[in-house]
Amino acid sequence: MTQDELKRQVGQAAVEYVLAHTGAGVVLGVGTGSTVNCFIDAMAPHRDRFQGAVSSSLASTQRLEHHGFTVIDPNAVTSVPVYVDGADEIDPRGNMVKGGGGALTREKILASLADVFVCIADASKRVPVLGGFPLPIEVVPMARALIERRVRALGGMPTLRANPDGTAFVTDNGHQILDVRGLTVGDPLAFEQQVNAWPGVLTMGVFALQRADMGLFATATGIETVRFG
Ligand SMILES: O=C(CO)[C@H](O)[C@H](O)COP(=O)(O)O
């Protein structure tokens, strides 16, 4: 089975989970990425069942609107029953690295509005310890060099994320992203809190405070459902 087929399979599994665990008229929390795109596409026939969706990126907003969903400002919402999003890595406790698509700040905001965070991924994203995937940190541009020095002091190797044409990648919030290689994240919660405290860091890509409550993982033999304690 190809990776695209696995993504479609887990997108469909997330639709079934959401339909089984939410009532009509709720607001759906929607993340970002190629796996979430499969979820959005599979959910499209059910759009009228929802009041609307809150979205973690301009890309997901466009896709939701293309399918006829009403996209709601998160400021108008006090909570969502479920937030569905992908991950770049997820450990056995549901801690994740996210932000490969650059949407980490809005993703963390929506995750913190959610009663249940459902992570959808192909099973290759499951790792014993976070840190293999370059860790994204969204930074205010004037603090980039300061944060690079702090990352290097911890033993990390930061790279400024670039677009294919070589220009600096700019997030939906107008900031830049440092991708940090070479750090093993032994204590995700402590590491998230440490880096969050650096002036100029908008969001770092470890999701320990907002870890997943459950995971739906696509394997060659079907969907594996994991509930994190
Ligand atoms: O955090 C994210 C975007 O900021 C994505 O959830 C993560 O990068 C996984 O994406 P994909 O489903 O394309 O592998």
Residue nearest to atom 8 of ligand 1 (CA): 100
CATH topology of domain 3-127+209-227: Rossmann fold (3.40.50)
Domain 135-205, CATH 3.30.70.260 — does that match?
A: yes
Per the CB < 8 A criterion, the answer to whether 47 and 96 are in contact is no
Task: State which of 7, 10, 36 you would mutate to test the pocket of ligand 1, scoring each by most atoms of that ligand within 8 A of its C-beta.
Answer: 36
ipTM passes above 0.95: yes
| Residue ranges matching CATH 3.40.50.1360 in the chain | 3-127+209-227
Question: Does the beta carbon of 125 sit less than 6 angstroms from any atom of ligand 1?
Answer: no
Taking alpha carbons only, the member of 164, 165, 158 closest to residue 198 is: 158
Report residue 81 CA to chain centroid gap. Answer: 17
CA distance 207 to 38: 22
Q: Residues 125-156: pLDDT tens digits? A: 999 999 999 999 999 999 999 999 999 999 99
* Distance of alpha carbon 133 from alpha carbon 50, whole angstroms: 34
Task: Give span(s): CATH 3.30.70.260, the chain.
Answer: 135-205
List the beta bridge partners of residue 114.
80
For residue 9, which amino acid is it?
A: Q
Mind listing the pLDDT tens digit for each residue in 175-197? 999 999 999 999 999 999 999 99
For residue range 69-89, what is the model confidence (pLDDT) as tens digits?
999 999 999 999 999 999 999
